[in-house]
Amino acid sequence: MLPPRPYPWHLLMATSLLVVVDGGCSWNREAAVSPKTIVSRQLCRQGIAAMERNQWDEAEPLLAKAVDVCPEAPEARAKYADLLWHRNQHAEAIREMAEAVRLAPDDAASRVTYGEMQLAMGDIESAGEAADLALDMNPKLASAWALRGRLMRRTGKQREALSDLHRAEGLDPKDSSYPMEIAELYLGLHEPDRALATLQSLSSRWSDQEEPAALLSLKGMAYSTMGRYDDAANTFLLACSRGGADIETLYRLAETQVRAGRPREAAAALKKALSLDPQHAASRHLLAQLGTDRGSLR
């Protein structure tokens, strides 16, 4: 799916406004700007502000109205598509994003967003076409390389994916999602030392008290793969304390605690996991194993 991080939306407003006689709608900043365009931009800006405040119910009518007022406004359609995607109205979001691309065919970033949506829905061919066109337009667009890397990963071409994501990271080193994905790829390629080095470098962007749970979980996986079970357990425990106590992380925590010789702690983690999903098979199985070896729990 589309990356869960918020988009850094930037709405560029015209510095001078010219009113056309027919009252039509034009989003082209080099053309005369109609009253409808002005209203659409104002509504779009208000909708974006509401989205940034996570006030989605407030944003939806504003962005829908922005599109209604000026159907030829590509930015309004793109922002409305983003809102629809957030609300899991995926088919509608893709239709709006397709219109945004049609209205602004030279906008490489819009093609990337469209491609990410198609990839999330499993349309590999459409996503690939979007990535290729975006890279043809702007070979230095980091998000386009990232999209291509995700496509490579989805189709099992892990080394190619790694190369593309490294390219994206080099073009936009501030985006922390790229090294996270790179670390996941290294783990999948059974290179936990490289995964850990990538994650430790990324960790320097935060203080020890601020490292995100997702980053800590990946570190825990790297430690576990390297056989450093105490380090893995402690890192998973920290991830859980940072809001990352989902069932998979709790299970991984318990698994590494067992391997580290900490069965009592593992049993507690498994019980917490089963409180989230009593039918989680792996947690039930591991807890049963611990129950049959009662001596280890004393």
**pLDDT, tens digit, 9 for 90 and up, residues 90-107:** 999 999 999 999 999 999
- The answer to whether position 4 is within a domain reads no
pLDDT the model gives residue 297: 53
Residue type, 81: A
For residue 99, what are the CA distances in angstroms to 74, 94, 193? 7, 9, 45
- The answer to whether position 1 is within a domain reads no
Average pLDDT over residues 54-76: 96
- The answer to whether position 2 is within a domain reads no
User: How many of the other CB atoms lie within 10 Å of CB of 105?
Assistant: 11
Q: Is 88 helix (H, G, I), strand (E, B) or coil?
A: coil
Q: How confident is the model at residue 5 (pLDDT cuts 50, 70, 90)?
A: very low
- The answer to whether position 233 is within a domain reads yes
Q: Domain count for the chain, please give it.
A: 1
- The answer to whether position 165 is within a domain reads no
CATH code of 209's domain = 1.25.40.10
pLDDT at 124 over 50: yes
By percentage, how much of the chain surpasses pLDDT 70? 87
- The answer to whether position 227 is within a domain reads yes
Backbone angles phi, psi at 74, to 5 degrees: -65, -35
pLDDT at 243 over 60: yes
- The answer to whether position 293 is within a domain reads yes
- The answer to whether position 296 is within a domain reads yes
Q: What is the mean pLDDT of the chain?
A: 90
Which range marks the domain in which residue 210 is found?
176-298
pLDDT at 119 over 60: yes
Which tokens belong to 106?
């030279």
> How is residue 57 annotated by DSSP?
H
pLDDT at 24 over 70: no
Average pLDDT over residues 267-293: 93
The CA radius of gyration of the chain, in Å to the nearest whole number, is 24
Model confidence, pTM: 0.84
Q: How confident is the model at residue 291 (pLDDT cuts 50, 70, 90)?
A: confident
